[in-house]
């Protein structure tokens, strides 16, 4: 299903549609076949107009077995198209899915346009002379379903046929079987009267340029590579595999030609400590993980704060606590990112809003980390990381340089006795001296430093001073980031305030309200620590503030505490993103 969804979204992008996707993976690696725990889904939204979400309720659902039907039927609009693999609705699979009777025969699906297709039988017939086993033949059913969907929505098969040649070229029989299954599904739709409706979706009016479909984890990886090149640095990633962040490690490991070095550590602690070592050595240092890994990295993150080294800590959030829902999305690590370390340990926090936005936030994270000599937390989530959308490939020459200057030995050969490793520039950043530079010897570590010299200090007044200084340095970043932007009127009855992966559904809901001339505006936060310096002013101009979050109200608590306003929390923790209709209903209730 992931392959089928990816091909449908890629084909739609090539046809010029705007596209947004939502892959939904099973949480168990080897869930029993035919059970609800093993259902894999992929939602695709393509349109002739700009879109921000993978869709609200779905207009067409393809269910390959009873478990897929019972899991996803609630997302299908009344009267929507329901295509099922009739061959899979046997007594055994019906029982696994929890059905007491066959829904294809008991009129329980009367509210939908039900299309029953014997996909297994038709696929086997299409490939029967190729000498494949029954199991191998049945693996082609997804291509049959893909072909039928392509016909339904006027999609061309060309891109998928090229993919089959590239993917299965060394196994001619398998390649031929998948081609036949794809075409069999397409021509089934064209030659039978099972589907009476055929849709054509025109090209979208997008900004001129060269586009490609990109997933969030890929965009983060490419943004990091670009940031390394723009700052003249080699990139080092120290990482331990964890869902849903592992694909960043996979992607970066492919690009040694760009000076990228990846290290798969034995655990999360070793991963971040190796990155801290790389930062001390003068490299652009990254570590990637999810919420459980951040818990393990906490002490080392404090070490990076104490040593004031540039480092990017990427947290691809997932459902928790503990192992939680490893393949499902959530944004419940905000307070952990802000406060999940011992002592007063401030770190800047930035959050991506969409798959394509991941490229820009990767650049911005490194700009801030290197300019202010501070570790930065970059938050994405499973929804953003695995989702995809069209990304306009930037002109590399237009990307701003990230200027980094390391102190050097003085021209007269000074011994460096006057070098102060904790001296401050106008940003309160200390110098990034590369080990081995003659005369610039200094030591680093987790014990409190004396300002200026960097010597270990237990002096109470110095500790107060350093704690205050590290906090001021993070707060000073507010003067270096853009003012908060607003969609809609500058003042009014209701402000929707969001962050992270809720951007698409919130922006779409507000756009719908604005089209109805409702007094609603939308502000979406990229910078979560520090907040943009005009955020309080914006909030003060609205009668009510709605804060939708995929957690129990973490940003809401921060906004209430910081700005002393009576905000309204709207929370969901189901491993699924907000639907637009949920937000529209809540907005209308407040209005």
Tens of pLDDT, residues 268-322: 999 999 999 999 999 999 999 999 999 999 999 999 999 999 999 999 999 999 9
Task: Report pLDDT for 320.
Answer: 95
Q: Which helix (H) or strand (E) holds 379?
A: strand 375-381
Cβ atoms < 10 Å from Cβ of 412: 5
Task: Report pLDDT for 1.
Answer: 87
DSSP alpha helices (H): ranges in 91-169?
A: 91-96, 119-127, 134-138, 141-152, 158-168
Topology annotation, domain 2-191:
Pyruvate-ferredoxin Oxidoreductase; domain 3 (3.40.920)
- What is d(CA 35, CA 98) in angstroms, rounded to the nearest whole number? 9
Task: Report pLDDT for 152.
Answer: 94
Task: Report pLDDT for 417.
Answer: 63
Q: What are phi and psi of 113, to 5 degrees?
A: -85, 90
Q: Vertex 304, ends 235 and 484: CA angle to 5°?
A: 80
Low-confidence ranges of the chain (pLDDT < 70): 410-417
pLDDT digits (tens, 9 = 90+) for 230-242: 999 999 999 999 9
Q: What separation in angstroms does the CA of 486 have from each of 490, 495, 523, 524? A: 7, 9, 5, 8
Q: What is the DSSP string of 534-568?
A: THHHHHTTEEEEEEEESSSSHHHHHHHHHH----E
Task: Report pLDDT for 416.
Answer: 52
Q: Are strands 388-392 and 211-215 parallel, antiparallel or unpaired?
A: antiparallel
Strand order in the sheet with 520-525: 520-525, 492-499, 542-549, 568-571
Output the six-digit token pair for 277.
């070592």
CATH code linked to domain 492-590 = 3.40.50.920
- What is d(CA 156, CA 167) in angstroms, rounded to the nearest whole number? 18
3-state secondary structure of 578: coil
Q: What are phi and psi of 285, to 5 degrees?
A: -110, 135
Task: Report pLDDT for 409.
Answer: 77
Cα–chain-centroid distance for residue 530?
Answer: 21
Unique residue bearing structure tokens 């798959």? 355
3-state secondary structure of 78: strand
CB 437 within 8 A of CB 413: no
- What is d(CA 139, CA 512) in angstroms, rounded to the nearest whole number? 42
For the chain, how far is it from start to end, CA to CA, in angstroms? 40
Identify the CA nearest to 102 among candidates 112, 118, 90. 90
3-state secondary structure of 588: helix
Q: Are strands 41-47 and 18-24 parallel, antiparallel or unpaired?
A: antiparallel
| 492-590 shares the fold of 211-398 | yes
The pairs formed by 583-587 with CB atoms below 8 angstroms and a separation of 24 or more are 583/496, 583/505, 583/506, 583/509, 583/548, 584/509, 584/512, 584/513, 586/546, 586/548, 587/494, 587/496, 587/509, 587/510, 587/513, 587/518, 587/520, 587/546
Task: Report pLDDT for 169.
Answer: 85
Largest Cα–Cα distance of the chain, in whole Å? 92
CB 557 within 8 A of CB 563: no
Task: Report pLDDT for 432.
Answer: 97
Class of domain 211-398: alpha beta
Output the six-digit token pair for 553.
């109200």
CB 565 within 8 A of CB 583: no
CB 495 within 8 A of CB 537: no
Domain-wise residue ranges, the chain: 2-191, 211-398, 492-590
Unique residue bearing structure tokens 């009777």? 101
């Amino acid at each position: 299903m992931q392959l089928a969804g990816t091909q449908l979204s890629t084909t739609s992008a090539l046809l010029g549609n705007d596209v947004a996707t939502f892959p939904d993976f099973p949480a168990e690696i080897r869930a029993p076949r035919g059970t609800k725990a093993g259902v894999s889904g992929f939602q695709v939204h393509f349109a002739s107009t700009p879109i921000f979400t993978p869709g609200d309720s779905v207009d067409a659902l393809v269910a390959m077995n009873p478990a897929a039907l019972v899991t996803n039927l609630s997302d299908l609009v009344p009267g929507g198209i329901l295509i099922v693999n009739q061959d899979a609705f046997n007594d055994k699979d019906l029982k696994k899915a929890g059905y007491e009777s066959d829904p294809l025969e008991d009129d329980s699906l009367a509210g939908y346009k039900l299309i029953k297709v014997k996909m297994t039988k038709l696929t086997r017939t299409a490939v029967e002379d190729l000498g494949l086993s029954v199991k191998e033949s049945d693996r082609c059913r997804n291509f049959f379903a893909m072909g039928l969907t392509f016909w339904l929505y006027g999609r061309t098969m060309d891109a998928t046929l090229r993919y089959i040649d590239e993917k299965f070229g060394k196994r001619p029989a398998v390649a031929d079987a998948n081609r036949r299954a794809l075409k069999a599904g397409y021509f089934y739709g064209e030659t039978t009267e099972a589907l009476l409706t055929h849709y054509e979706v025109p090209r979208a009016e997008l900004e001129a340029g060269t586009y490609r479909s990109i997933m969030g984890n890929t965009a983060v990886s490419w943004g990091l590579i670009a940031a390394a090149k723009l700052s003249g640095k080699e990139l080092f990633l120290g990482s331990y595999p964890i869902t849903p962040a592992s694909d960043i490690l996979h992607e970066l490991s492919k690009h040694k030609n760009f000076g990228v070095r990846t290290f798969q550590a034995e655990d999360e602690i070793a991963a971040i400590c190796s990155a801290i070592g790389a930062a001390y050595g003068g490299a652009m240092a990254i570590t990637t993980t999810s919420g459980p890994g951040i818990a393990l990295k906490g002490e080392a993150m404090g070490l990076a704060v104490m040593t004031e080294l540039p480092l990017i800590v990427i947290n691809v959030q997932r459902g928790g606590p503990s192992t939680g829902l490893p393949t499902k999305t959530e944004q419940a690590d905000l307070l952990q990112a802000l406060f999940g370390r011992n002592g007063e340990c401030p770190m800047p926090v930035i959050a991506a809003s969409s798959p394509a936005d991941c490229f820009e936030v990767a650049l911005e994270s490194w700009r801030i980390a290197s300019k202010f000599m501070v570790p930065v937390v970059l938050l994405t989530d499973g929804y953003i990381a695995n989702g995809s959308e069209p990304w306009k490939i930037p002109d590399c020459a237009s990307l701003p340089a990230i200027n980094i200057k390391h102190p050097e030995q003085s021209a007269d050969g000074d011994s460096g006795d006057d070098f102060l490793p904790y001296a401050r520039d106008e940003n309160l950043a200390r110098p990034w001296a590369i080990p081995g530079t003659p005369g610039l010897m200094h030591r680093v570590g987790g014990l409190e430093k004396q300002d200026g010299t960097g010597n270990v200090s237990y002096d109470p007044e110095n500790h107060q001073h350093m704690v205050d200084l590290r906090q001021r340095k993070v707060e000073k970043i507010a003067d270096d980031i853009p003012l908060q932007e607003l969609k809609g009127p500058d003042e009014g009855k209701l402000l929707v305030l969001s962050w992270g992966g809720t951007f698409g559904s919130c922006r779409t809901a507000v756009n719908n309200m604005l089209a109805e001339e409702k007094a609603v505006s939308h502000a979406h936060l990229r910078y979560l620590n520090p907040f943009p310096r005009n955020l309080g002013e914006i909030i003060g101009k609205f009668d009510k503030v709605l804060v939708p979050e995929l957690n129990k109200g973490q940003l809401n608590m921060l906004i209430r505490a910081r700005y002393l306003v009576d905000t309204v929390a709207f929370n969901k923790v189901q491993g699924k993103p907000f639907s637009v209709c949920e937000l529209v209903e809540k907005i209308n209730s407040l209005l």
